[in-house]
Amino acid sequence: MAKTFVGPQLRQLRRERQQTQAEMAKALGVSAGYVNLLENNQRSLSVRLLMSLADTYQVDWRDIIRDEGSNLLSHLRNVVRDPMFSGNVPDLQELRAAIDHAPRLVEHFVALYGIHRTTLERIMRQGTANGPEGLLASSAEAVVHDFFRDNSNYFHGLELAAESLRREEACETDDIYAVLKARLANAHGIAVRRRTAEDMTQALRLYNREESVIHLSEALDHCNQVFQLAHVLCLVELQDQLNALTAASGITNKTSLARCHVELANYFAAAFLMPYETFLRTAEDTAYDIDRITARFAVSFEQACHRLTTMQRPGAQGVPFFFLRVDKAGNVTKRFNSTSFHLAEYGGSCPVWNIHMAFRTPGVILPQFVELPDGERFFTISRTADRPAVNLETQDHRLSVALGCELQHASRLRYAASFNFSDQRIFSKIGINCHLCPRQACSQRAHQPVFMELPLDTARRGNTRYES
């Protein structure tokens, strides 16, 4: 196996057992000096010692080698890049040293920063008219987003369950609806009924547990009907697994737990419709051509984009993507992330970003290279996604979705093939939103930043009233 360094995990395991390095060394049959080298990442972990650790301490070997430090490093890098931190920013070596030697302190620091950002964003959203009550409380969506991101937006148990079900119910893509319907009926006594949009004006899918009936609105197209059946099947067959995942998450709020169950069931549905290995191979073979992917698996554009963010299986990783969905007013309605890109929880994302321009050209994919205020660069594509029309008020209920990756991965995407990466002019300078963006002289600025004052010259009128 490749060199595996487990210093923080090993140190944490030893401390949980209240052992000294000498005591752990004796238990493992190695020297205390060797344990010290392992804890300081000066020696890699051998397969033999990994198995010995698992047997001696009765832990899953996968938990030992899980690189949670990489997620923490990504979070920490985002934090120290915030413009509120002026002066010298710690380099990568310093950040890694902090994680190696004080991982819990780093976790608390990142959590504190998260509360800070949540507070700023809530102040932006609520204004000064509302009192401080509940100001620091994170929304259910934010809690679930953080849980998914902490797991690199990948859940191995759900992937295995989806793969097992596909083997058990082997079928062609165009037969999946019938297979799911039969599975629900034969294994669980659950019937599926299609209802008119007039009968279901307030819901697209309703699972009546007492009557053992799933009601699907005819406003749903075929691929979304299939997705909803897979979603319910997960709730029925994998309830114990969902409970175990949410129990391990540390989420306690009732609403957040319910939201987490919904998103995990959505994860399973996507994994069932788009099996991991086949999906990743198709994505790589087509240079991440989403139109070809949707055709291959008979899914929607949004479903394919969402699934692309989950290709993070250790040893079989695809391009790490972030996913964001907004409505015409700029409100964030869904977000998933396996990159270092910071996704705003609330509305007001940067107007320079093409995710908003997509509404002008429905169904057209808009590629864009973007640069954040800290200098980090990404490649994104944006496109509208149609929503079910259940009445006259929602016949133009389009949303816009964006899929993005770090610049280093852009060459793997066909949408970036025609661009000259060395041309600095291709990069659009964006921010998270105006309230949090430090950029000066931005022609699209709509608000004063909440953490700094922009210079004001009475003798000058800039492109906006904030740029003078």
pLDDT in tens, the chain (468 residues): 445 566 777 777 788 788 888 888 888 888 888 888 877 777 777 777 777 887 888 877 666 655 555 667 777 877 777 766 766 778 777 887 887 778 778 888 888 887 777 766 666 555 544 444 444 456 677 788 888 888 889 999 999 999 999 999 988 999 999 999 999 999 999 999 999 888 888 888 999 999 999 999 998 999 999 999 999 999 999 999 999 999 888 888 888 899 999 999 999 999 999 999 999 999 999 999 999 999 999 999 999 999 999 999 988 999 999 998 988 888 888 888 877 676 665 555 678 888 989 999 999 999 999 998 878 899 999 999 987 766 656 556 789 999 999 999 999 999 999 999 889 999 988 877 777 777 777 777 777 776 667 777 777 777 776 665
Alpha helices in 213-369 (DSSP H): 222-237, 239-249, 254-273, 276-285, 290-297, 301-308, 354-357
Total count of residues recorded for the chain = 468
Strand partners, 261: none
Which single residue is written with the structure tokens 């992937």? 159
CA atoms in the 13 A half-sphere facing the CB of 160? 4
Contact yes or no for 432/350 (Cβ under 8 A):
yes
The one-character DSSP state at 349 is B
C-alpha distance from residue 433 to each of 217, 345, 446 (Å): 36, 10, 9
∠297-298-303 over CA atoms, to 5°? 85
Report d(CA 275, CA 268) in Å as an integer: 10
Q: Both tokens of residue 88?
A: 């010298």
Nearest CA to 336 among 399, 274, 266, 277? 266
Amino acid 164: pLDDT: 95
CATH architecture of 316-432: 2-Layer Sandwich (3.30)
How would you class 37 by CB atoms within 10 Å of its CB: exposed for 0-12, middle for 13-18, buried for 19 or more? Answer: middle
Report d(CA 447, CA 50) in Å as an integer: 54
Report d(CA 10, CA 27) in Å as an integer: 13
Which H or E element spans position 168?
Answer: helix 156-168
What pTM, to 2 d.p., does this model score?
A: 0.72
Strand partners, 377: 371
Query: Which sequence spans correspond to the domains of the chain?
Result: 7-66, 70-126, 316-432, 438-468
Report d(CA 292, CA 307) in Å as an integer: 14
Report d(CA 462, CA 195) in Å as an integer: 56
Nearest CA to 227 among 306, 152, 290? 306
CA dihedral 55, 60, 64, 66 (to 10 degrees): 160
Nearest CA to 275 among 310, 305, 300, 314? 310
Instruction: Provide the CA 108 distance to its chain's centre, in angstroms.
Output: 21
Provide CB contacts within 8 A for 234, sequence distance 6+: 158, 242, 264, 265, 268, 269, 272
> Do 316-432 and 7-66 fall under one CATH topology?
no
Which of these CATH numbers, 1.10.260.40, 1.10.3720.10, 1.10.730.10, 1.10.10.10, describes 7-66? 1.10.260.40
